[in-house]
Structure 1
Amino acid sequence: MAGKLTTHVLDTAHGCPAAGVEINLYSIESPSDDRTLITQVYTDRDGRTDKPLLADGELQIGEYELVFGIGSYFAKTQSNLSKPAFLDRIPIRFQIADINVHYHIPLLVSPWSYSTYRGS
């Protein structure tokens, strides 16, 4: 069984999925901390991507970073935000230890806060 990496974004300010959020996935080289872009995707109307970010043997042990372009999303959906926005790009760094499991990393976000966890 090959593992996979998925994500989704929930807009907690409006109580709905966040559509059209840019997501960049990077691999991180240790110890140099250099990033290599693996893929760039956008969330659909359900706040999800149309396919896993990594699947079918692409998932490797190592360090990764998801960067969510949340500033432009809230600029389109909420007119009363300060400029510049409090949150713009949200990076989430994480480690893959087992390439045979499903890693799901959701982002729950408002214009002023966010949280994440390892889902299933």
Structure 2
Amino acid sequence: MAVVTSHALNSVDGSHADGIAVRLTRLGSERLPLFATRTDASGRVSEGVDIREADAASVYQLVFDTAPYWADRIGSRPDIGFIEQIVLRFQMPDPAGTYHMPVILSPNGYSVWLSG
């Protein structure tokens, strides 16, 4: 079983970005939802995903719904916009691999990388 993990950090105040809705979908002719969860109190997500039957070239999409997170923190201000979603597309060629994608986010930007 593959494991998809992330650690979301708020770059504005250095806190863990807790409570962000996160979902993983396998893309293709039909989209297959694989999990839907939220970052925990430490801003982390760790989910096992059974991809043994999937084509090794399959593309996956990990979405962080950040709009509610920022709306709770900065409110609805017309002078400050914020990124509503962070969308990552990647492959998982090893059905037993660990795929870690940390995210450092701010209202108007983010940084992400893939590590194992």
Q: 1:19: which partner in 2?
A: 18
Q: 2-side partners of 1:83 and 1:25: how far apart?
A: 32
For structure 2, the 5+ residue unaligned runs are none
Q: How does 1:33-48 map to 2 (within 5 A)?
A: 34-48=30-44
Quick one: which of 51, 54, 71 aligns to 1:59? 51
Structure 1: unaligned runs, 5 residues or longer: none
Aligned equivalents of 1:83, 1:69: Cα separation in 2 = 21
Q: Who is 1:3 aligned against? A: 2
* 2: CA distance, partners of 1:37 / 1:84: 32
Q: 2:101 aligns with which of 94, 105, 108?
A: 105
Q: TM-score, normalised by structure 2?
A: 0.83
Q: Which runs of 4+ in 1 moved over 6 A?
A: none
Tell me, yes or no, if the aligned pair for 2:70 and 2:82 is still in contact at 8 Å. no
From the superposition, tell whether residues 26 and 67 of structure 1 become closer, same or farther in structure 2 (CA, over 3 Å). same
Which digits, 9 at most, give the CA deviation of each residue in 1:79-104, with x for residues without a partner? 37438843101111111112232110
Distance in 2 (CA, whole Å) between partners of 1:13 and 1:82 is 19
Contact persistence 1:108–1:114 (CA under 8 A): yes
Q: How far off its partner does 1:4 sit?
A: 1.6
